[in-house]
Chain A
Amino acid sequence: MEKMQCQCGHENPPGTILCESCGRSLTEKEQNSKLVDMRYEGTARRSQTYNKSIIDKIWNFFSSVKVGVSIIVVLLVASAIGTILPQHMYVPATGEAAIRDYYADVYGVVGQIYHFLGFHDLYSSFWFIILVGMLAISLIIASLDRFVPLHRSLKNQRVLRHYSFMNKQRIFAEGEGAEDSFQKAESKLKELKYKVSTDKNGLLAEKGRFSRWGPYVNHIGLIIFLFGVMLRMMPGFYVDETLWIREGETRSIPDAPGYYLESESFALETYTGEEEEARFGDAIERVGSVVKNYQTDVVLYQSQEGSLPGSADEKEVLTEYPIRVNQPLKFDGYALYQMDYKLNELKSMTFVLTNKASQEASEEFTIDLINPADFYELEDGSTVELLGYYPDFDGFENGEPRTATPLPNNPGFLVEMVTPETPEGETSFIIIQETIEPFGENQYELKFQSAETRHVSGLTVRKDRTLPILGLGGLIFMIGVAQGMYFNHRRFWIQQKADGTFILAGHTNKNWYGLKKDLDEVSSFASLPAYTDQQEEIEKQEKKEGDEVK
């Protein structure tokens, strides 16, 4: 495509609508319109001008605002669909196959399709990530394509504009002025904080040009924000793990090498409704009970430098801390939040050895369900030997007792009891509420007396090194919004013609009321000709014509 030569002699890039220098209309369409199209200063959107190679075609695709808006709409619709069924982390299934089956079982064909298309894990779906990436590309390319020519045009703008440019501005005036109008207008405009430049018989007053960069600053903020989100997927930047820890346990903290956490206790307090809390009485009566506090008292350890995982080396106590809701334990960029709990998991069980016939019982003895001993000696010389322990007994397989999980939800014990009366020993298998005697009727049995329990805390381990980047992106985004919203780019062009009459034009990117207020002040001070708002005139005209047709 050829460069476009304007009558004034300036060479414009192909596709330009208004001459960068004098403002003459360069296209026929523009020449016939009553008002000029001032978007992007009538510059050529660069993408529209070249369309040759495949690279140009891709570039032009992303440069289109229509494409950008379409991507946003698709993302919005997809996000909305993603809320219809629960996301995968909220369904009661773990493992990929189990999750897939869950969606199929509970939601039928719809669930199957939902899972197949990746809506169950929307933010990690490859197509969702690609769409967000395309939005980022669109933001960058569309901004570049508009910012560069706009910047160039505003930099190159001339003080003296062609008459056809001036009289097609929305604010336009033509007529007699006073002898000193030109000087007075200049000084008044300067007083109003306009940047005034003059050239021969003309004047250009400009204010708030930086507001034109608002949208681009805003886009830079968005890009930085998206970059931060992208970093979250890289190892080391973002941790969001769950740690289930039981009272008395010490656990290595997931994704925090070298750190260990011990849970001393978990407490769930409810409001009593008495004394100071009497004001909660009604609420408590209505809903039963109201939780006041969830708290895990923990000790944080760090292994010594050079100490290997699993070794019995002393660990250094870093801190003791009560983790409460919204009061996480923070260390080295990590935060541990109180998220969940499970009450009363079995911890130990107490039995007595009883003679079935006489009902005579031994003293109590306790089996620790977490770390059971294998031998229990009683006062009268009887012994109980633990042969097998199945913390979560769920039946026999090939005659062998099986445990379903490592947690003591349904403990089963295989024991051998030796008493002075039964020196050969008797074997029995004990589960809650039931005793099985595999080798015939026994004389003795273990009788359950009591159990101790402990609580389980569900903690979330979180680390987010992308927060400062997200914050910066958000800040720049808001600066861009403020820049474009609360400031306007106002310009006036004034020319004194050879016969002493004046022409005057004004333009702003928004807030025409403010522009007119400025102009009123300047006009009355410098006795410039009265202006008209040509757009309002056109609208009035159209309305009138419309009325006549009726």
Chain B
Amino acid sequence: MNNKSGKKKKRVIVRSVILAILISAIGYTLYNNATADDVNLLRVGDQAPDFSLMDLDGNSHRLSDYQGEGVFLNFWGTWCKPCVEEMPAMDRQYEEYYEQGVQILAVNIAQSEFEVKSFAKQYGLDFPIVIDKNKSIMAAYNIRPLPTTVLVNPEGKIERIVTGEMSEEDIAGYMEEIKPE
């Protein structure tokens, strides 16, 4: 009898293990499938990919140079209405938080220098604007819809990824999140 119940126990264990492995494989596949459509390369908590771009005044901005500061990385284009609408609010909050160690980098997606310059002039934007001429930053950050804002904390890690338009309150709140202590 002992032998028999031992065998039965073994059978249940073997079956449970096989079923658990197979079911978790399905679960993992479902998880990968669900996340593949969004930001499949970047997730909150990842190190923000480093890059180096020229701004309109010819100054080079390298992300890792801002280690110790929060970076508000905004991807935009002049054709994108919500991008244009949040710009003035970003500019106002930039005045507020620049002193507190939050930098804005507005990454334009492959437009001409003329368009970006006249846009910045028209709206009187003070924060640095860089142009991603061959869309390599866009690819590295896997940006799909515009606007997308990636918030990088002082450790250089991604704190939050925001897609869609932000209100001025949102912007202030996000800057608060990535402000150095």
| Chain A interface residues toward B at CB < 8 A | 50, 53, 55-56, 58-59, 95, 124, 126, 129-130, 133-134, 136-137, 140-141, 144, 230, 233-235, 249-255, 257, 260, 308-312, 370-374, 386-389, 391-392, 402-406
Please name all residues of chain B whose beta carbon is closer than 8 Å to the beta carbon of A144 when the two chains form the complex: 18
Which of A260, A309, A372, A404 lies in contact with B79, CB distance below 8 A? A404
Residues of A within 8 A of B34 (CB): 126
Counting chain A CB atoms within 10 Å of each CB, the highest count among B49, B133, B137 belongs to B133
A252–B15 CB distance below 8 A: no
Q: Are B19 and A312 in contact (CB under 8 A)?
A: no
Q: Which of A58, A95, A260, A370 contacts B19 (CB 8 A)?
A: A58
- Kindly identify which residue among A50, A124, A310, A372 contacts B52, using a CB–CB cutoff of 8 Å: A310
Which residue of A253, A257, A312 contacts B54 across the interface (Cβ within 8 Å)? A312
Q: Which residues of B sit under 8 angstroms from A372, Cβ to Cβ?
A: 112, 114-115
Mark out the residues of chain B between 85 and 114 whose CB falls within 8 Å of any chain A CB in the assembled complex.
109-114
Q: When the two chains form their complex, are residues B109 and A309 in contact, meaning their CB atoms are under 8 A apart? A: no
Chain A residue at minimal CB-CB distance from B22: A137
Q: In the complex the two chains form, what is the Cα distance from A439 to B46 in whole Å?
A: 54
Task: For A371, give its contact among B41, B51, B112, B139 (CB under 8 Å).
Answer: B112
Q: Does A310 lie within 8 Å of B139, measured CB to CB?
A: no
A389 touches B112 (CB 8 A): yes
Please report the total number of B residues contacting A with Cβ < 8 Å.
52
User: Most chain-A Cβ atoms within 10 A of its Cβ — which of B50, B132, B139, B145?
Assistant: B139
Are B114 and A251 in contact (CB-based, < 8 A)?
no
Inter-subunit contact B50/A308 (CB<8 Å)? yes
**Which residues of B52-96 have CB atoms within 8 Å of chain A's CB atoms?**
52-54, 60, 62, 77-79, 81
Give Cα A134–Cα B32 distance, bound, in whole angstroms.
Answer: 17
B47 at the interface (CB under 8 A from A): no
Nearest residue (CB) in A for B50 is A308
**A residues less than 8 Å from B134 (CB atoms):** 249-252, 260
On whether the beta carbons of A389 and B32 are closer than 8 Å, the reply is no
Question: 11 A-B contacts, Cβ less than 8 Å apart?
Answer: A50-B8, A255-B139, A257-B140, A260-B136, A309-B50, A311-B52, A311-B53, A372-B114, A374-B117, A386-B114, A387-B118
A515 to B156, CA, bound (A): 75
In whole Å, how far is A202's beta carbon from the nearest beta carbon of chain B? 33
Q: Are A233 and B52 in contact (CB under 8 A)?
A: no
Contact B52 A308 (CB under 8 A): yes
Asked whether B167 is an interface residue with its Cβ less than 8 Å from the other chain, the reply is: no
Least Cβ–Cβ distance between A421 and chain B, in angstroms? 27
Q: Please, which residues of chain A bring their CB within 8 A of the CB of B133?
A: 250, 310
Alpha-carbon separation in the docked complex, A52 to B40 (Å): 43
| Contact among B16, B117, B132 with A310 in the assembled complex (CB-CB below 8 Å) | B132
Establish whether residues A55 and B25, one from each chain, have CB atoms under 8 Å apart when the complex forms: no
Across the interface, A370 reaches (CB within 8 A) one of B23, B49, B81, B112, namely B112
Interface string of B143-162 (1 = CB under 8 A from A): 00100000000000000000
Complex: chain A residue closest to B84, CB-CB:
A402
For B138, give the chain A residue with the smallest CB separation. Answer: A252
List, in ascending order, chain A residues with CB within 8 A of B140's CB.
252, 257, 309
A257, A387, A392 interface centre (most CB from chain B within 10 Å):
A257
Out of B30, B54, B135, which one reaches A252, CB within 8 Å? B135
- A388: B residues at CB distance < 8 A: 118
Nearest B-chain residue to A1, judged by Cβ:
B4
Residues of A within 8 A of B50 (CB): 308-309
Q: Does B29 contact A (CB under 8 A)?
A: yes
Q: Does B44 contact A (CB under 8 A)?
A: no
Please give, as numbers and ranges, the residues of chain A lying within 8 Å of B118 by CB-CB distance: 374, 387-389
Residues of chain B contacted by A254 (CB below 8 angstroms): 139
**Which residue on A lies nearest to B111, using beta carbons?**
A406
Q: Which residues of B contact A309 (CB under 8 A)?
A: 49-52, 136-137, 139-140
Q: State whether A308 and B12 are in contact (beta carbons under 8 Å apart), knowing that A404-B79, A405-B79, A406-B77 are contacts in the complex.
A: no
